[in-house]
């Protein structure tokens, strides 16, 4: 695949959530990602089925399906590790060690390997071995407490923990470790915890609080919906728009284009007046439809954008011009990002079926056709196609 990481080989021990997202980012940038899948199993419904094989997040992989309870399967993975740059796993602490695929076993085969570990709570700490999900991890960091209306915190999908504080941080971490390994020949373990990552995403808010510019309460601050100049408003047709006119020159342009002449709006940063000003501005936006407000405000410096649905977003002219979304085989999905001028990325192939590349990957690891057939016959390796 083209892209700045076309030299990189990544072993992914299949999972769900942030680990696969990190691998998607690497695959999007050209890395060869070999996913070690469990043996094919009947679909039973639930999250595993929803996220298995046909997910956009799983694009760009090669799939090797193995029965990891068999020592021969473990040996197969270790053979692949010998030729890899990065391994990513998302199990609870200690699980890969029990499988025989922990950092010590892998580094014995390949000292330069970067071993990425993705968990919610981290490899250490009193909660390290307990179950959880994105909402729990961001709850522990102050992030969830800060998001939502005053009455109740609301989860921001699973963006702050799973993907922003998890997968994206892991991808950055393994690339940093790989850059260091290139210079020293020595790999290392990258412990990426969603609690650590979500806390890191809150750096600006903790910094503002330290200076007395942020209240530890929802809907009390200029970025959390309290301020009239930073938030969303309903329009005449029930659709919404967003405004983020923080700076005075942008605020002035917003008011001017909206036809607001009320002198009370001159008190932009008087927090005690925010609620009243928000109510007044809400009435202004109710006078026109979203499309009409786009005609007035879009393209200006009023810091404005329509709030688009997932189906609407790909059709917006800006997103169309940049190719922000793509539809391979009719499947709507975001295109790879960021963009590189010398080694541009390309959309990788769609998610593979479990075991789709088993034979080719075993051949690449040095197994003969007879050995591969023996592994398949013994139920150690599985061969499948897209289904």
User: Which residues are annotated as catalytic?
Assistant: 133, 162
The residue with tokens 């609080």 is 209
Count CB-CB contacts under 10 A for residue 235: 20
- Determine the Cα–Cα distance for residues 281 and 261; give it in Å rounded to an integer: 11
Distance CA 34, CA 84 (A): 9
How many angstroms separate the CA atoms of 376 and 358, rounded?
Answer: 10
CB 12 within 8 A of CB 33: yes
Half-sphere exposure of 169 (CA within 13 A, CB side): 25
In angstroms, what CA-CA distances link 188 with 87, 91, 142? 11, 18, 30
Whether the CA torsion 313, 318, 319, 324 is positive or negative: it is: negative
* 3 state DSSP class of 128: coil
Beta-carbon count within 10 A of 231 CB: 21
How many angstroms separate the CA atoms of 283 and 306, rounded?
Answer: 17
d(CA 325, CA 257): 31
339 CB neighbour count, 10 Å cutoff: 10
Sheet strands (E) in the chain? 9-13, 32-37, 61-66, 86-89, 114-119, 189-193, 230-234, 240-244, 304-306, 325-326, 333-334, 381-382
How many helices (H) and strands (E) in the chain? 15, 12
Cα 346 to Cα 59, 141, 262, 324, 351, distances in angstroms: 12, 36, 51, 12, 15
Torsion of CA 155, 160, 162, 164, to 10 degrees: 160
């Amino acid at each position: 695949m083209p892209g700045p990481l076309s030299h990189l080989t990544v072993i992914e021990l299949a999972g769900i959530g942030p680990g696969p997202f990190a691998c998607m980012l690497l695959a999007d940038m050209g890395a060869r990602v070999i996913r070690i899948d469990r043996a094919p199993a009947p679909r039973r419904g639930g999250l595993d089925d929803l996220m298995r094989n046909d997910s956009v997040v799983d694009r760009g992989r090669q799939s090797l399906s193995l029965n990891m309870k068999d020592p021969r399967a473990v040996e197969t993975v270790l053979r692949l590790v010998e030729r890899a740059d990065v391994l990513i796993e998302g199990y609870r602490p200690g699980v890969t060690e029990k499988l025989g695929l922990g950092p010590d076993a892998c580094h014995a085969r390949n000292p330069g390997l970067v071993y990425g570990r993705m968990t919610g709570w981290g490899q250490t700490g009193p909660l390290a071995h307990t179950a959880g999900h994105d909402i729990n991890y961001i709850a522990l960091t102050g992030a969830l407490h800060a998001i939502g209306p005053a009455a109740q915190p609301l989860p921001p999908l699973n963006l702050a923990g799973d993907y922003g504080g998890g997968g994206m941080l892991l991808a950055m971490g393994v690339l940093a470790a790989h850059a260091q390994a290139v210079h020293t020949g020595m790999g290392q373990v990258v412990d990426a915890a969603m609690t650590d990552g979500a806390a890191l995403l809150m750096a600006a808010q903790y910094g503002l609080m330290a200076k007395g510019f942020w209240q530890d309460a929802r809907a009390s601050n200029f970025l959390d919906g309290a301020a009239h100049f930073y938030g969303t408003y309903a329009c005449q047709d029930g659709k919404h728009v967003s405004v983020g006119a923080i700076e005075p020159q942008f605020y002035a342009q917003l008011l001017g284009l909206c036809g607001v002449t009320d002198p009370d709006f001159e008190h932009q940063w008087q927090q005690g007046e925010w609620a009243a000003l928000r109510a007044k501005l809400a009435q202004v936006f109710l006078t026109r439809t979203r499309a009409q407000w786009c005609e007035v405000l879009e393209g200006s410096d009023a810091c404005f954008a329509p709030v688009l649905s997932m189906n609407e977003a790909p059709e917006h002219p800006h997103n169309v011009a940049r190719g922000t979304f793509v539809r391979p085989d009719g499947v709507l999905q975001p295109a790879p990002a960021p963009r590189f001028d010398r080694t541009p990325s390309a959309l990788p192939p769609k998610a593979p079926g479990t075991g789709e590349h088993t034979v080719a990957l075993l051949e690449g690891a040095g197994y003969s056709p007879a050995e591969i057939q023996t592994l398949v016959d013994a139920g150690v390796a599985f061969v499948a196609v897209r289904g």
